[in-house]
Structure 1
Amino acid sequence: MSYLKEFKNAVSRTRKLGLGEPTVNETAMPLDQAVLNAIEETGHIPFRQRAVQALSVNFGMFHMLTKKFHIPGGILTMGNVSVDGGMRFPVTPAHFRKMIENESGEDALGTYHLWTTLPGGLILDHVLPSTLSGEGLLKVNEALPAERYFYGPADELGHGIEYHPMVVGLEFLIASGTIDREAMEYLMGEKFPKQYGN
């Protein structure tokens, strides 16, 4: 199944959970390499530590993408990732529904993966390269910003990597008790970007 088809299923699932209905434009709007490298270079968590700080890293990069660089159309996406056919996280859609029912999102960090979906089904992930590099499955030259993240059409990433979205959008993080609403409103509101010098 194509990534965009899986993404649409995740949007439908998210809507049924009462968490809004984000949409992704099916027309790709590729990001300039200079912007991608600038986003990467503003990250403050060292490459080797990213594997164990997925929420902090990928939410932080999503935040910079939307608030500092003003790139529209990105949607935070939660789910599973497979490498050479093997699923990395033991999650199903029911897992995310239970997190909402029990508000156990904070306790469930590390049981699923999150990344940014961009228009056209492009993926932006600043965590998985760290994970795979640490396991010896991927060679990364840490001196090159472009090697420290995955970016590109989800169906063409290589390395046997496939992303499997299950729920989408920031509202999931609030409903699951991962981030409280007040903090999210501050982070994604109009006051916070002033810290980026805008």
Structure 2
Amino acid sequence: MSYLKEFKSAVARTAKLDLGDFTVNESPMPLDQAVLNAVEETGHIPFKQRAVQSLSVNFGMFHMLAKKFHIPGGIMTLGNVSVNGEMRFPVTPAHFRKMIETGSGEDALGSYHLWTTLPGGVILDHVLPSALAGDGLLDVNEAVPAERYLYGPADELGHGIAYHPMIVGLEFFIASETIDREAMEYLMGEKFPKQYGKS
């Protein structure tokens, strides 16, 4: 299944959970390499530590992309990643529903992956290269900013990498009690609904 088809399923699942409605922009809007490198250079977590600080790194980079660099169309995406057909995380769509029902999002950090989906099904991920390098699956020259993140069309990534979106948007973090509502509203400069359906 193509990434955009999986992404549309994640959008529908998110709406069914009353976590927001999203529009899928299928036309790619490539980012300039200088902007990508500038976003990367704003990161404060060392490359080797990123694999174990996925939320801090990829949410932080998403925030910089949206609020400092004003790049439109990025959507925070949560789910799984496979490498050569093997899933790296013990998570399915049902796990995200359970995190919302039980408010266990903070405890479940590390059980899923998160990244930014850009228009056209393009991936921006500042964590996976660190994880793959740590597992000996990828050689990374840490001195080169463009090697410290993954950017490209999801269906054309190398190294046997495939992304599997399951939930999208920021409201999941609040509804699952992963991030405090007031903190999220302060960071993103927008209001979020006070109640979420538990359907």
Task: Give the TM-score range, shorter chain.
Answer: over 0.9
Once residues 69 and 142 of structure 2 are traced to their aligned partners in structure 1, the CA distance between those partners, rounded to angstroms, is 23
* Distance apart, 1:150 and its partner CA: 0.3
Please report the RMSD computed on the Cα atoms of aligned residues, expressed in angstroms. Answer: 0.7
2:66 aligned with 1:66, yes or no?
Answer: yes
Q: How does 1:26-105 map to 2 (within 5 A)?
A: 26-105=26-105
Per-residue CA deviations over 1:11-36 (Å, capped at 9, x if unaligned) read 00000001011222100000000000
Matched with 2:24 is: 24
Secondary structure, aligned partner of 2:184 = helix
**SS at 1:95 equivalent:** helix
What SS does structure 2 have at the residue aligned with 1:44? Answer: coil
What do residues 139-178 of structure 1 show as CA deviations (whole Å, max 9, x unaligned)?
0000000000000000001100000000000000110000
Map of 1:1-198 to 2, 5 A cutoff? 1-189=1-189
Whether the aligned pair in 2 keeps the contact of 1:154 and 1:163 (CA below 8 Å) is yes
Distance in 2 (alpha carbons) for counterparts of 1:182 and 1:34: 33
Preserved contact between residue 24 and residue 75 of structure 1 (Cα < 8 Å): no
Aligned mates of 2:36, 2:107 — CA distance in 1: 31
Contact 1:100 1:176 in 2 (8 A): yes
Q: Distance in 2 between matches of 1:22 and 1:51?
A: 28
Secondary structure at 2:91 match in 1: coil
Which stretches of structure 1, 4 residues or more, deviate above 4 A after TM superposition? none
Q: How many Å separate the matches in 2 of 1:128 and 1:145?
A: 14
How far, CA to CA, are the matches of 1:172 and 1:151 in structure 2? 24
For structure 2, the 5+ residue unaligned runs are 191-199
Q: 2:39 aligns to what SS in structure 1?
A: helix
Structure 1 residue matching 2:41: 3-state secondary structure: helix
Contact 1:129/1:148, CA 8 A, preserved across alignment: yes
Count of aligned positions: 190
Identity %: 84
Instruction: Return the alpha-carbon distance in structure 1 between the equivalents of residues 32 and 151 of structure 2.
Output: 11
Separation in structure 1 between the aligned mates of residue 112 and residue 76 of structure 2, nearest angstrom: 13
Aligned residue identity for 1:138: L
Q: Distance in 1 between matches of 2:133 and 2:2?
A: 26
Q: Deviations over 1:105-142 (max 9, x none)?
A: 00000000000000000000000000000110000000
Task: Measure the CA separation in 2 of the matches of 1:24 and 1:139.
Answer: 33
Contact 1:24 1:118 in 2 (8 A): no
